[in-house]
Amino acid sequence: FQISVSNDRIMLDKFCEAFIKQDIQTIEKLFGDYLWHTISIRDTAVAKVKQENFYHGILLGLFGYMADWVVKSNVESGIGYSDILIEIPESRTGIVIELKYATDGNMDAACLNALRQIDIKQYASKLKEDGMCTIIKYGIACYKKACKVCIGK
């Protein structure tokens, strides 16, 4: 059990650090591996409007590992509700994550739609109000056991 927990900590540290470093390849690899090894296709066989919620919950659980991060779900920001906002007070870094389920399997298009939504709805505004100096925007698309990550400007 100790070895398993230790390995999970190493993976979670790498995963969370990749968001700060804007390392989308590592995020995709680790999140994709996690999905591949833990979920069933049946887990995503829910009503279309709820498919995104499944992946949203997984990410919240993974980010919950970071005790010094402030992780907020479905918080009002700008002119809408962002999926996930993260504040890292120590570095004054804010992260906006918008998730999309690629119902047609086109994860590239879903990622771009997520990034557009972040900008159109001004989701980063809450992070700026809270004093975050560096803002990083991620669009994450999921389809079954796969994911795609894009970073915004």
Query: Average of pLDDT values for 79-92?
Result: 96
Rounded to 5 degrees, what angle do the CA atoms 43, 23, 151 make?
75
Unique residue bearing structure tokens 């972040």 = 118
The mean predicted confidence, pLDDT, of the chain is 90
Contact of 67 with 107, CB cutoff 8 Å? no
pLDDT 10s digits, 63-72: 988 989 999 9
Asked whether the predicted pLDDT for residue 87 surpasses 50, the reply is yes
Residues in a beta bridge with 19: none
Tens of pLDDT, residue by residue over 94-111, are 999 999 999 899 999 999
The pTM of this model reads: 0.91
Question: Which tens digit of pLDDT belongs to each residue from 114-125?
Answer: 999 999 999 999
> What single-letter amino acid sits at 66?
M
Of the pLDDT bands very low, low, confident and very high (cuts 50, 70, 90), residue 40 is confident
Instruction: Name the percent of the chain lying above pLDDT 90.
Output: 69
Q: Which helix (H) or strand (E) holds 18?
A: helix 2-21
pLDDT of residue 47: 59
